[in-house]
Amino acid sequence: MGILERKLKTFYRKTKKGNIIKIVREHYLRDDVWCGLQACTVCEGDIRPLQILSEVKSNIIPFPHHILIDSNVAIHQIDLLCQDSIRNVIIPQTVIQEVKHHSLPVYKRLRDLIDDSSKHFYVFCNEHHGDCFAEREKGETVNDCNDRSIRLTCWWYKQHFQLFKQNVVILTNDMANKKKAEDLELDAFTVLEYVKGLKNAHELLDFVAVADDTDGNDAPDVSQKFMYSPHWSITDIRTALKKGKIKQGVLKTSTKNYLEANVMVEGFDKSVLIQGRENLNRALHDDHVAIEIFPKEKWSSPSTLVIDQQKEEEEKAIDDDEEEKAAIAQEKAMLASSVGEGEKQPTGRVIGIAKRKWRQYCGILKKNVIAESNRHLFVPADKRIPFIRIETRQAEALQSKRILVAIDSWPRDSKNPKGHFVRVIGEIGDKETENEVILLEHDCPHTKFSEAVLKCLPKMPWVITPKDEAERKDLRDLNICSVDPIGCTDIDDALHCRLLPNGNYEVGVHIADVSHFIRPHTAIDQEAQNRSTTVYLTNRRIDMVPDLLSSNLCSLRGEVDRFAFSVIWEITPETEILSSRFYKTIIRSRGELSYEQAQQKIDDPSMNDDLTNSLRNLNMLAKKLKKKRLSDGALVLASMEVKFHVDPDTDTVVDIVAKQHLETMSMVEEFMLLANVTAAETTVKEFPDCAMLRRHPAPPPSNFEPLLLAAESQNIKIDVTSNKTLADSLENAESDKNPFFNNMLRIMTTRCMMQAVYFCSGTLEKQEFYHYGLATPCYTHFTSPIRRYADIIVHRLLAAIIEKDTTYPELLDPKKCSEYSQHINYRHKMAQYAGRASGVITAITNILRILIKRRKKVKKPEEWVLQAQNMEFEEEKTEDNLPKFQFNEKDLCVRCKDVELRPFDEVRIQVCVDSSDIQHEKVVTRLVFPYIEGFSVKSLKASSRRYPRIATQKQKIKV
């Protein structure tokens, strides 16, 4: 059996009602938990990563050894553990459980290390080992008991390893624990001691996290020059929350002013303003904080000042007490003076932090005046994060690099949080580096796929077995083809169409059957779920699933057999859908066409083969479908998408063009929409509670205000009562003098829209399923499972419906489904931002180059002022001789001297890059025409003077 003994674990829990319940769980001790040493002859077990060691790597430990770590070390020193030279580590189960409880990201990283076979990490199930289990004694805290168990484990290992002449040392930063370990005659070290003693200490010392002094709440040294007020304990916060004395919420730091933040709390219409360093009290952006709200007379409104740490700090000397004090005082004064006018907002201060949302931060090292010092300030790329104090011995080398830093603690007496160096991302300005910064800052998982994930891939060469053939419908004889943009390698959809004898058409949309390869609960599924989407940067694609699947096995390439999930309709020539069915199929695409190729085929009257005819039929049907859809009230929105033509050899952008629109694009789009709608209807019918759908809520009328005002200025009426009326009025809005006017209007409409989101059908009422933009009662995503996880879930549901696959509890659990959709929404949003940011960066690095290259030929760029309101006038303090601009809210125009700018007026601008701030480069547009003295620039006269700028909101560039 392997079971030695049964113990009972008893604990008490308070229910929501406040009752206390006793929970008794069984706990079995076993005799077959193995040590994990490769050469061990005593234990039996499959996974044995620990090696026999013979090399002495340390100056202070005169024998080769394995390392055993305690929970705090695992949680705080994960960056150290990630280093290559740290190998052969024993992680007691107690530790890994505590890590999991404490921080999921750290847990995931630790698990990755364990899965990495080159690291030789081993999890020892000490809790179930007869000798290592520590039963909680009376009066002993859980932590003490865990520590005892870890020591017992180390002791057991020491005895056990003697058989094989191996040794083990225990690393702990807890002095009491270390002392007790030494009493057991174990070799115990603190992390710092240990790393210092290593022969390659200099490489590793930077990664040692600063010892955590429990939030620095104790040690109230009166002589300290500057002190934050202590944080309340979690229990105090809870009791106070119950009494309603304090409020809880998520802190959102202002992007303009890092000393100002907002917290949305219950019971207040407006968010609560937290101003100043002391009131913020060490809370960071996104932390869950408990706040105390000030009495009404102290209420205030947000400051109008843009405070940039960078400039602030530059003016200060380093680490001088007096100076610092003065600086803080000065800061206060500045804040006080800059109180904006406008409505008062409640204000408050942070008294405690319920949950830290620290992550790792990208940024650069700030040059230290004292060259020899090891203490440096780190400037995060995210402006909302304060500077972080780190210790490093390689400052010189890091000067021109982008680096990653983690926060360890923020003691009361330290102005800035303390952290440690994690790793170098790369050279500033290097494209790879910049990409990685974008990915890190947008929380996009982008590391290589772990071994565990790759293990889940099918063995190559992959063949279709007779079993597969039996289970699937064979559609290899159909004329199926795919139509995608040029250079697309992850082809997830293909189409076919044929005329049926009864005069109707059979149309099939074939989607890559990703769910066949990604089985639930496997490592690959977990990974894909975590990533949720493929991220497209301008020159890099971060796949959701490994390359083998995304661009080979799941990609519906031409002339090869592939598995597909097909939806097949019978459609009358009048596009009435008679029937729709889903099948798991095997298909063979007759060709991977690009939009252009497909268009050519359709347009070329000499082509008359089956494939072309089927494309023509598809195109014909698509046009009708589109018309029908538009008449139902679907919106045609425009966003000025630009495309960078990248030269693959030099990796530089050759050209920036607006995306061209072809008929074939809307043909594919139309059928994808139809497939998605069919999938949505089918899943929601069979699984009314747990279908994953996508909805697009109707925007509140207030969202349309800017659009209406702008249109009014051009004497155009827009009716926004429903999507149908909106679509119609957009259709009719034309301006004679400006051919782009309609397009502009549509761009503005896009900005009024709400975000479309995934949701679980069980969580909302049926009428809320509505997709505003597409004017469909329900919608989901089914057509791109290679790059979206939501589609995989939809596939699984559909497969269950057609009884080709199994369900599993999580799939049918509305709560889980809801959780998944929220996660996917988050990842999608972040991926979108990352893509945009990447566009900006690429633009920055390339626009100048193009402009320079083609200087002589370049026409002056043209653009229209889209929204006068959106112009931000960043006033440079040094220049006060600016002409005064006046903004007239009523008729939306900007007046300056005798020039008047209205929305949709034609202006000419110049585009260039402002790289004065290396972390936040911007595309700058300057006004050329109409010419305003002292503000506009002269045509194409690049000048070194600093002009006031109009910062672009997005890329409103059109070359």
Partner 1 sequence: MEVVSPEGLRQDGRTVSCLRKISCRLGLYDQPNGSSYIEMGNTKILAAVYGPHEVKNLKKQQLDEVIIQCEVSRIAASQGERVKRPRDQRTRAMSQQIASVFEGAIRKSKYPGSQIDIYIQVLQSDGGVLSACINASTLALIHAGVELKDYVASCTASICRGEPILDVSYVETQSSCELTIAVLPNKETICSLHISNTLHQTQLDEVLKIAMDGCQSVYKEMHAVVREYMRNQHAIMTHV
28 contacts partner 1 (rule: CB under 8 A): yes
CB of 809 to partner 1, least distance (A): 5
22 contacts partner 1 (rule: CB under 8 A): yes
CB of 684 to partner 1, least distance (A): 18
800 contacts partner 1 (rule: CB under 8 A): yes
Phi-psi region for residue 532, left (φ > 0), alpha (ψ -120 to 50) or beta? Answer: left
CB of 811 to partner 1, least distance (A): 10
Read out DSSP for 754-805? PPPEEEEGGGS-GGGG-BTTTTBS-----S-TTTBHHHHHHHHHHHHHTTSS
Residue 115 or residue 570: which is nearer to partner 1 going by CB?
115
Binds partner 1 by CB under 8 A, chosen from 27, 160, 196, 423:
27
3-state secondary structure 453-508: HHHCCCCCCCCCCHHHHHHCEECCCCCEEEEECCCCCCCCEEEEEEECCCCCEEEE
Closest CA to 92 of 48, 32, 133, 44: 133
Q: What is d(CA 679, CA 565) in angstroms, rounded to the nearest whole number? A: 11
Q: Which of residues 77-106 bind partner 1 (CB under 8 A)?
A: 93
Size of site (CB under 8 A) for partner 1: 37
CB of 803 to partner 1, least distance (A): 9
Q: What is d(CA 175, CA 164) in angstroms, rounded to the nearest whole number? A: 30
Strand partners, 423: 404
DSSP state of 146: H
Q: Which of residues 233-252 bind partner 1 (CB under 8 A)?
A: none
621 contacts partner 1 (rule: CB under 8 A): no
Binds partner 1 by CB under 8 A, chosen from 521, 856, 884, 945:
521
Encoded tokens for 612: 């072309």
470 contacts partner 1 (rule: CB under 8 A): no
CB of 522 to partner 1, least distance (A): 8
Binding mask 119-138 for partner 1 (x = CB under 8 A): ----x-x-xx----------
CB of 123 to partner 1, least distance (A): 5
Dihedral over alpha carbons 393, 396, 397, 403 (to 10 degrees):
80
Closest CA to 646 of 633, 635, 656: 656
Residue 344 or residue 519: which is nearer to partner 1 going by CB?
519
Among the residue ranges 14-22, 283-291, 547-555, 557-565, the one whose residues contact partner 1 (CB under 8 A): 14-22
Closest CA to 171 of 194, 137, 149: 194
Among the residue ranges 22-30, 140-148, 352-360, 701-709, the one whose residues contact partner 1 (CB under 8 A): 22-30
Binds partner 1 by CB under 8 A, chosen from 14, 18, 24, 461:
24
459 contacts partner 1 (rule: CB under 8 A): no
584 contacts partner 1 (rule: CB under 8 A): no
In one letter, which amino acid is 71?
Answer: S
The CA R_g of the chain, rounded to the nearest whole Å, is: 32
Residue 812 or residue 937: which is nearer to partner 1 going by CB?
812
Residue 814 or residue 948: which is nearer to partner 1 going by CB?
814
501-507: list long-range contacts, CB under 8 Å, 24+ apart. Answer: 503/572, 503/573, 504/570, 504/571, 504/572, 504/573, 504/578, 505/570, 505/571, 505/572, 505/573, 505/617, 505/621, 506/568, 506/569, 506/570, 506/571, 507/568, 507/569, 507/571, 507/618, 507/621, 507/671
List C-alpha distances in Å: 291 to 216, 260, 261, 331, 644. Answer: 19, 14, 12, 22, 47
Binds partner 1 by CB under 8 A, chosen from 86, 114, 290, 718:
114
Binds partner 1 by CB under 8 A, chosen from 462, 644, 770, 808:
808
Binds partner 1 by CB under 8 A, chosen from 423, 519, 823, 954:
519
Among the residue ranges 337-345, 409-417, 801-809, 932-940, the one whose residues contact partner 1 (CB under 8 A): 801-809
Closest CA to 616 of 581, 663, 559: 663
Binds partner 1 by CB under 8 A, chosen from 276, 419, 520, 785:
520
φ, ψ of residue 658 to 5 degrees: the values are: -75, 145
In one letter, which amino acid is 259?
Answer: L
φ, ψ of residue 789 to 5 degrees: the values are: -75, -30
Indicate if the alpha-carbon torsion angle 81, 87, 90, 93 is positive or negative: positive
CB of 74 to partner 1, least distance (A): 15
Residue 373 or residue 806: which is nearer to partner 1 going by CB?
806
15 contacts partner 1 (rule: CB under 8 A): yes
Among the residue ranges 17-25, 54-62, 335-343, 601-609, the one whose residues contact partner 1 (CB under 8 A): 17-25
CB of 692 to partner 1, least distance (A): 18
760 contacts partner 1 (rule: CB under 8 A): no
Residue 19 or residue 943: which is nearer to partner 1 going by CB?
19
Binds partner 1 by CB under 8 A, chosen from 424, 637, 642, 812:
812
CB 26 within 8 A of CB 6: yes
Among the residue ranges 8-16, 392-400, 732-740, 821-829, the one whose residues contact partner 1 (CB under 8 A): 8-16
CB of 579 to partner 1, least distance (A): 26
Q: What is d(CA 151, CA 610) in angstroms, rounded to the nearest whole number? A: 75
807 contacts partner 1 (rule: CB under 8 A): yes
Binds partner 1 by CB under 8 A, chosen from 14, 18, 19, 477:
19
Burial of 878 (0-12, 13-18, 19+ CB in 10 A): exposed
Tally of CB atoms within 10 A around 642: 17
454 contacts partner 1 (rule: CB under 8 A): no
Q: Which of residues 38-57 bind partner 1 (CB under 8 A)?
A: 47
Residue 29 or residue 896: which is nearer to partner 1 going by CB?
29
CB of 26 to partner 1, least distance (A): 5
Among the residue ranges 473-481, 546-554, 721-729, 806-814, the one whose residues contact partner 1 (CB under 8 A): 806-814
255 contacts partner 1 (rule: CB under 8 A): no
CB 42 within 8 A of CB 33: no
Chain center to CA of 226 = 36
Q: Which of residues 764-783 bind partner 1 (CB under 8 A)?
A: none
Binds partner 1 by CB under 8 A, chosen from 65, 66, 109, 111:
111
Q: What is d(CA 763, CA 894) in angstroms, rounded to the nearest whole number? A: 47
Q: What is d(CA 508, CA 501) in angstroms, rounded to the nearest whole number? A: 16
Tally of CB atoms within 10 A around 466: 7
List of residues 6+ apart from 502 with CB closer than 8 A:
none
Read out DSSP for 864-921? E---GGG--B---TT---PPPPEEETTTTEEEETTEEE-TT-EEEEEEEEE-SSTTS-
Binds partner 1 by CB under 8 A, chosen from 14, 21, 736, 941:
21
Among the residue ranges 281-289, 519-527, 534-542, 822-830, the one whose residues contact partner 1 (CB under 8 A): 519-527
φ, ψ of residue 415 to 5 degrees: the values are: -70, -40
Among the residue ranges 66-74, 190-198, 667-675, 800-808, the one whose residues contact partner 1 (CB under 8 A): 800-808
CB of 29 to partner 1, least distance (A): 7
> Which residues bind to partner 1, rule: CB under 8 A?
1-3, 6, 8, 13, 15, 19, 21-30, 47, 93, 111, 114, 123, 125, 127-128, 519-522, 800, 806-810, 812
